[in-house]
Amino acid sequence: MYSRPGFATLPAMYELDAVRVSYGGVDALAPTTLSIAQGETVVLLGPSGSGKSTLLRCLIGLSPYDGTLRFDGAEVKDWRPVRRRLGYVIQEGGLFPHLTARGNVTLAAREFGWDKARIDARVRELAELVALDAAQLDRFPAGLSGGQRQRVAMMRALMLGPDVLLLDEPLSALDPVTRLRLAGELRDIFARLGMTVVMVTHSLREARFFGGRAILMRDGRIVQQGDIADLQTQPADDFVAEFLAAEEAL
């Protein structure tokens, strides 16, 4: 099994043993065995339809799977207590359309009984982080741009200070300046708080920026994993070489 230098001795946050997702008899994720250490950053790469989102959704308990998935040392039987420790941004943001941006961001905190002052302070801090203003936070998702919705989803994911962040192309709808600023802030937060991060991206530059372990997928399988530089200099097969060269070119 792959273990990242420096992370080999850390306890695992996720351990997947032959985890498989199939729809109508077709594997979206072939039986996959994978360990993700606490504090590790993992980037999922691969062509469209290769199973990146399916794998990510397994880690949130949103894809029905066979096999065994352990979180923080225990097999997951009930996802509700696990999800309290996760923040996630899935594709299309998954915001509730009938709640304002602020309502979406604060929903879980209100359910957990945070008082107003604590909620307001946290919202101010996160709004500054993602560069959204108060007027934007008072709009419903339909009244925000794609990039603004993505930033609201990021605020919601970070709101409770999760141990794990699971992000499906979280920066894809942002303009280059906002993306670079937010990416820099996120990288600092990940390091400072020792968060475990799993991120789907189509961008090699983004993958390099965040560092960590890259996992390259094809047809629902992990084809190769390691540092991007190692994948580029020692591709496992022609597909890996071609995929990385194409991603690099455009």
Ligand X SMILES: Nc1ncnc2c1ncn2[C@@H]1O[C@H](COP(=O)(O)OP(=O)(O)OP(=O)(O)O)[C@@H](O)[C@H]1O
Residues that bind ligand X (CB under 6 A): 23, 28, 46, 48-54
Please identify, using beta-carbon distances, which residue of 48 and 233 lies nearer to ligand X: 48
- State the nearest-atom distance from the C-beta of 52 to ligand X, in Å: 4
Give the β-pairing of 41-45 and 196-200. parallel
Helix or strand run (H / E) with residue 154: helix 146-158
Burial of 147-168, coded b for 16+ CB within 10 Å and e otherwise, reads bbbbbbbbbbbbbbebbbbbbb
- State the nearest-atom distance from the C-beta of 3 to ligand X, in Å: 24
- State the nearest-atom distance from the C-beta of 216 to ligand X, in Å: 11
Please identify, using beta-carbon distances, which residue of 67 and 103 lies nearer to ligand X: 67
Cβ-Cβ contacts under 8 Å for 247 (sequence gap 6 or more): 45, 202, 203, 204
The vertex-175 CA angle with 173 and 177, nearest 5°, equals 140
- State the nearest-atom distance from the C-beta of 82 to ligand X, in Å: 20
Please identify, using beta-carbon distances, which residue of 23 and 112 lies nearer to ligand X: 23
Measured CA to CA, the distance from residue 95 to residue 111 in angstroms comes to: 16
What residues form DSSP beta bridges with 41? Answer: 197
Please identify, using beta-carbon distances, which residue of 37 and 216 lies nearer to ligand X: 216
Please identify, using beta-carbon distances, which residue of 44 and 152 lies nearer to ligand X: 44
- State the nearest-atom distance from the C-beta of 84 to ligand X, in Å: 25
- Going 37 to 22 to 61 to 104, the CA torsion angle's sign is positive
